[in-house]
Structures are given as structure tokens and as C-alpha cells.
Chains A and B, each alone.
Chain A
Amino acid sequence: MATQSSRSAARIMMAPAVFLLLVWMLVPLSLTLILSFKRFLPLRGDRIGERGDGFGDFLLDYITGFPTLDWVGFQNFASFASSGAFTDAVVTTLVIVGGVLAVSVIFGILLAMLLDQPMWGQGVVRILVIAPFFVMPTVSALVWKNMFMDPTNGLFSHLWRAFGADPVVWLSDVPMTSLILIISWQWLPFATLILLTAFQSLDSEQLEAAEMDGAGPFARFFFIALPHLSRAITIVILIQTIFLLAVFAEIFVTTGGAFGTRTLTYLIYQRVLESQNIGLGSAGGVYAIILANIVAIFLMRIVGKNLDR
């Protein structure tokens, strides 16, 4: 169908986006790769070439692999992986991603089903439900941590006391639950909205026909609604996973990585910025990319299937 000329036109039109993203991927990726094989401790005076001698010289240093830094082989990779924190961080990352995904998909479906029912003031309810999506992660973490989860002055502690219970110390007693709660609060609206739109396009005649045939509400949900939603669910999972793998502000503000909430991203942050060991952190970055790609391949399998209609 497409002619040769439209093919080449298409190629030209795609070029800027592909080129820019290629650069944006290759530059950080190559920098991370080079640095992961280097000893780079800025606080000990290690430098990438001289500052202020212009971009050309920086480029030259970059291309030649930053010769001012010592090559240490796979030492950074070995020490990053051998530290006890590594496996814990991978598990924590997967638990947070999985937890938030589970919460937002399950509650998203329930909420979307509810909002799809006829009611008064549906528009206003939708506005209320969508609101958390607009809140900056830093702000939402600050608000939850201080105004709700604070064991002395938080609203939850007042509530618990009002019922005569001992307030829960959220961030140290149930740190993962707290974090998943905060992050889910931010992402549930997103999931709900996508799933709601999918629900609204569900053919009601088909449902009615099924009802006539004697299909119960569960059967109708599992055999008609859920398959119809599969594409929407795939999209929720894909988009959210991309953002959830990089969750940072929520942890930084609430627990600072303590109480078993240190994700891989946070561990890299500690190595790079708190310990100022760029080489080690970069090795962690490479591991993170590998993990992300494993998750990605897994995801793409599902997505690839579901994207072909």
C-alpha cells in the first residue's frame, strides 16, 4: 500500500525523534558504562579532565574514555553485587513495583466499575478521584509523612487514639505498606481513568445478552468485561512500571531508604551522591539497566501481544 516515496518521507519524519532519543540514550548509557569500569571518587580529587577548557576537550576526554581516571576492570561490579544491600534492593524494588501495580489495577477496576454506574454528580466525583495524579511526588510524600503518618500529630494517630488504640508508627512498623499506600494513592487515579474509559466503551448490549442467557455477574465480569479490559490493563502496567522503577522522591522524603525500603534506584543514589563513589554507583546503574530490561522484555511480551489487535 505504501509507496516508495511515502516510505522515505516517513523515514525522514521519524528521523528527528529517533535521532534525539538515540543520542539521549547513548550519551548517558556510554557515560555510565565507561565510568562503571573506573575509579572515580570526586571527593578524593578524581577529575574528568580539566574544567573550563571548552567543550571540545571534554568531548575528546569522553571519546578517549576519560584517561585521567584509573581503569579498575570489573571491581566496581563485583563490589556492588557482593554488598549485602544489593539483593535486598532488587527484591524491594520488585515488591514496590508489584505492590503498587496490584493495588492500582485491582482497585482501579473496582473504582472504574463503580464510576461507570449511573449516579448523581459523576463529573465531580471523577474530578475528586483524578486529583492525586496532579500532585508532585515530593509534596505528596511530605503531606502523607507529616500530616497523616506522624505518630504523634498525624491525623491517623488522632484517629487511632479516638478509638482507644495505640497509634501505628507507619514508617518504621509497616514501612513497605506505607510506601505502597503513598505511591498507590498517586497512581490509582491514572489506572482508574484508563480503565473507566475502557469500561465506558464496553458494549452494553453484549452484557445484556449475556444476562439474558443467564450469566451471573461474576461470569459477566470474567468472561466479557475482563477480556475487554485486557488492553487497558496492559497499558496501565506498562506505563506505571516505567515510572515505578524510578521511584525516588517518595523514599527520599519518607524513610531515607531505612527500614528495608531501599530500592535499587535509592541504593545507586546512596553510592553516587551520599558516598560520592561514582564508579561504584555507575556499576549499580548498569545493573539497574539490566533489571529494567528484564522487566521490559517480560512486559513487551505481554504488550506486544495485546497491542496487536
Chain B
Amino acid sequence: MARAVTTQRKALNTAIAWTIGILIFFPILWTVLTSFKTEAEAIANPPVFLFFDWTLENYGVVQERSNYMRFLWNSVIIAGGSTILGIIIAVPAAWSMAFVPSRRTKDILLWMLSTKMLPAVGVLYPIYLLCIELGVLDNRYALVVILMLINLPIIVWMLYTYFREIPGEILEAARMDGASLKDELLYVLTPMAVPGIASTLLLNFILAWNEAFWTLNLTSVDAAPLTAFIASYSSPEGLFFAKLSAASTMAIAPILILGWFSQKQLVRGLTFGAVK
């Protein structure tokens, strides 16, 4: 920003932006705070904000009821596996679309995106049957494949737009120097594409982590991720806001922390090549 700005103006901006930021973040903050309250304090009127007896009791109850670590580990495997597998399959495809475009390239891309528009609820039954016949119900690796397929269009598209930002002349130059296709991929393209790949990875990890339809319906014990974990806390007998908050916090904390630490990469990748 080249324009000079008065301190007054800057202070005003800061005040407005922080107010809005805190408002948007407030539901999450409130959930985390509530998870440290007793049930009575959780529904107290007027609400207590910070000055209550902080307790870890709710987390104890939640952990006692369900093996949180197993759900967490399954989430990590499923989200991580599907994202990495997706990247492995998508990178060559996106590369060839970006650098060797044909008349049909855009059609193929748009077709890929359109496969995401099939309503999942409509095909639950047959897919469930298919999984039974293949013996992969409640199997993490089956979910890895399914979530990979669900997110593949987005991955290809993100990588494609990102790769298109890479100037083609560099490739030409490399080719002139006698670089093979493999070299081109490994030594020229990959380093330039790493930031884009990283943010694609991140976004799809988040999408896979939060996918709740297939993960809930195709798992029971061995492969059940955090989406199944939270399904056992919605509306138990009586409304237990504090315990619900504790379970919610446990379900979103890992991804929230990851997201915050990597938000720079995420933001960069989220442009979808929208910005030169």
C-alpha cells in the first residue's frame, strides 16, 4: 500500500476490523469457554463470560465415554490419506491440462467439477451394498478412496489454475536444454508448484476432515472418525451444553490449530489462480 494513512484512520480501521473479527469468531470462543463450565453455568442467565469456576470435568466425561484418540487417528488417516492420494493422481493430470492444453481441456475440467453435483443421499444404498460385496465396510482405506474421489475434481481444478500461473517459457527453456519429461516434472515444475500443492493439500484436508455423510454411514468402529464421534453427543437425554461444547471443541480443535498454523499457505492457494 503506497498511500499514506493517518494514525487516526488506522486506529478506526483496527477497531472496526477487530470488532467484526471477534463477532465472527465468537461462536467458537463461546463453545470453548462453555466447555470449561459446569452444566448450570452453561445455561446461566445472565451468561457468565470469564468469571466462573473453570473445570475440566466435561472433558473427563467425554473421554470416559468414548475413545477420543481412536476417532482422532481415524480422522487423520482418512483425511490425510485421501488428500495425499488425490494429489498423487491429480498432479500429472493438472500438469498436462495446464501445459499441453487441447480444445477439450476446459470441457474436461468442467465435467470433472460437475461430478461433484450428484446428491450423495441418493446413492447411499447401492454404495453400501458395493462396500459389503467388496468387504470394505468400516474400512479406513475404503474411505480414503471414496473421499479422494469426492475431492479429486477440486484438487485437479486447484492445481490446474495454480500451474497455469507458471510461465511456460521456463519449460520451453528446460526442454531446449534437453530435459526429459521426468526431469521437467521433478526439477523444474515441482519446486515452482510446491506452494500451490501445499495449499491444495491443506484445503482438501479440511474438506475431507469435515465430510460427514460418507464417513458416518460407512463406518462403525474401526474406521469411525470424529464426525461419528460428534454424532453420539447431539441431543442426549437432556440438553448438556457444557458436555456438547467439550465434545465439539475436541472435534474441531485439531483442524482449527492446523488451519491457523498454515493459514498463510491456505490463503495463498485459495486464490484459485484468481490473482495474477
Question: Is chain B in direct contact with chain A in the complex (CB below 8 A)?
Answer: yes
> Chain B: residues with CB nearer than 8 A to chain A?
1-3, 5, 9-11, 13-14, 16-18, 20-22, 24-25, 27-28, 30-31, 34, 43, 45-47, 89-90, 92-93, 95-97, 99-100, 102, 106, 108, 110, 112-127, 129-130, 132-134, 149, 152-154, 156, 181, 206, 209-210, 212-213, 226-227, 230-231, 233-234, 239, 241, 244-245, 248, 251-252, 255-256, 259-260, 263, 266-268, 270-272, 274-276
Least distance between A6 CB and chain B CB atoms (Å): 5
Which of A98-106, A169-177, A193-201, A216-224 contacts the other chain? A193-201
Q: Give every chain B residue within 8 A of A21 (Cβ-Cβ).
A: 112, 115, 149, 152-153
Mark interface residues in A7-46 (1 if CB within 8 Å of B CB, else 0). 1011101101110110011011101100100001010000
Mark interface residues in A39-72 (1 if CB within 8 Å of B CB, else 0). 0101000001001001100100000000000000
Is the Cβ of A130 less than 8 Å from the Cβ of B259? Answer: yes
The residues in A between 141 and 197 inclusive whose CB is less than 8 angstroms from any CB of B are: 142-144, 146-148, 150, 153, 155, 158, 161-162, 185, 188-190, 193-194, 196-197
In-complex Cβ contact of B18 among A48, A121, A140, A185 (8 A)? A121
In-complex Cβ contact of A54 among B133, B213, B248 (8 A)? B133
- How long is the Cα–Cα vector from A224 to B95 in the complex, in angstroms? 33
Is the Cβ of A135 less than 8 Å from the Cβ of B252? Answer: yes
Is the Cβ of B115 less than 8 Å from the Cβ of A25? Answer: yes
Residue in B closest to A126 when the chains form the complex, CB atoms: B263
Q: Give every chain A residue within 8 A of B156 (Cβ-Cβ).
A: 17
- A282 an interface residue at 8 Å Cβ cutoff? yes
- How long is the Cα–Cα vector from A289 to B18 in the complex, in angstroms? 42
Q: Give every chain B residue within 8 A of A289 (Cβ-Cβ).
A: 117-119
- A259 an interface residue at 8 Å Cβ cutoff? no
- How long is the Cα–Cα vector from A18 to B16 in the complex, in angstroms? 47
Is the Cβ of A138 less than 8 Å from the Cβ of B274? Answer: no
- How long is the Cα–Cα vector from A61 to B255 in the complex, in angstroms? 42
Is the Cβ of A304 less than 8 Å from the Cβ of B210? Answer: no
Mark interface residues in A242-268 (1 if CB within 8 Å of B CB, else 0). 100110110001000000000011001
Q: Which 5 pairs across A and B sit closest by C-beta, in order of nearness?
A: A285-B122, A10-B96, A13-B92, A292-B117, A17-B93
The residues in A between 260 and 306 inclusive whose CB is less than 8 angstroms from any CB of B are: 264-265, 268-269, 272-273, 278, 281-282, 284-285, 288-289, 292-293, 295-296, 300, 303-304
Residue in A closest to B168 when the chains form the complex, CB atoms: A1
Q: Give every chain B residue within 8 A of A225 (Cβ-Cβ).
A: none
In-complex Cβ contact of A155 among B47, B99, B100, B121 (8 A)? B47
Q: Give every chain A residue within 8 A of B270 (Cβ-Cβ).
A: 190, 193-194, 197
Instruction: Known contacts A119-B13, A147-B245, A282-B122; decide if A193 and B267 are in contact (CB<8 Å).
Output: yes
Is the Cβ of A197 less than 8 Å from the Cβ of B271? Answer: yes
Least distance between B270 CB and chain A CB atoms (Å): 5
- How long is the Cα–Cα vector from A286 to B81 in the complex, in angstroms? 31
Q: Give every chain A residue within 8 A of B212 (Cβ-Cβ).
A: 136-138, 249
- How long is the Cα–Cα vector from A136 to B17 in the complex, in angstroms? 25
- A91 an interface residue at 8 Å Cβ cutoff? no
- A133 an interface residue at 8 Å Cβ cutoff? yes
Residue in B closest to A228 when the chains form the complex, CB atoms: B275
- How long is the Cα–Cα vector from A8 to B246 in the complex, in angstroms? 54
Instruction: Known contacts A14-B96, A142-B234; decide if A118 and B10 are in contact (CB<8 Å).
Output: yes
- How long is the Cα–Cα vector from A196 to B152 in the complex, in angstroms? 26
Q: Give every chain A residue within 8 A of B125 (Cβ-Cβ).
A: 35, 40, 42, 272, 278
Q: Give every chain A residue within 8 A of B234 (Cβ-Cβ).
A: 138, 142, 253
- A232 an interface residue at 8 Å Cβ cutoff? yes
Q: Give every chain A residue within 8 A of B25 (Cβ-Cβ).
A: 128-129, 131-132
Q: Give every chain A residue within 8 A of B113 (Cβ-Cβ).
A: 238, 242, 296
Instruction: Known contacts A11-B96, A25-B118, A272-B124; decide if A204 and B2 are in contact (CB<8 Å).
Output: yes
Least distance between A294 CB and chain B CB atoms (Å): 10
Is the Cβ of B239 less than 8 Å from the Cβ of A264? Answer: no
Is the Cβ of B274 less than 8 Å from the Cβ of A197? Answer: yes
- How long is the Cα–Cα vector from A57 to B191 in the complex, in angstroms? 48
Least distance between A24 CB and chain B CB atoms (Å): 4
